[in-house]
């Protein structure tokens, strides 16, 4: 888990180079949900449950890990705050 992954453009290649031995990297800072896989590296950003920034919903992720791999990822949208 890292706080910052830099600009969106080139993120997958940059994170693969920075973390060559990882299969899964969770990152934040942008508060924008992200789920991609490239060159054997799964990149996840849960968004934010409290600050939706430019997104339509506040969000968080749940991840199921089984037998050393990612079995499931679910992005949860929270109802609007009143």
Residue 1 exposure: Cα atoms within 13 Å on the Cβ side: 4
**Domain tally, the chain:** 1
Q: Domain containing 42: what range?
A: 11-77
Q: What is the pLDDT of residues 11-45, one digit of tens each?
A: 999 999 999 999 999 998 888 999 999 999 999 99
**Residue 17: per-residue pLDDT:** 95
In a domain, 37, yes or no: yes
In a domain, 3, yes or no: no
Contact 64, 70 (CB under 8 A): yes
**Residue 81: per-residue pLDDT:** 77
**Residue 29: per-residue pLDDT:** 81
**Residue 1: per-residue pLDDT:** 86
Residue 82 has pLDDT above 80, yes or no: no
């Amino acid at each position: 888990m890292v706080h910052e992954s830099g600009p969106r453009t080139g993120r997958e290649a940059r994170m693969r180079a920075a973390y060559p031995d990882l299969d899964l990297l969770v990152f934040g800072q942008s508060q924008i949900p992200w789920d991609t896989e490239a060159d054997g590296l799964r990149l996840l950003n849960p968004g934010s449950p409290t600050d939706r920034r430019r997104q339509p919903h506040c969000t968080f992720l749940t991840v199921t890990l089984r037998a050393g791999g990612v079995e499931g990822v679910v992005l949860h949208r929270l109802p609007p705050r009143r």
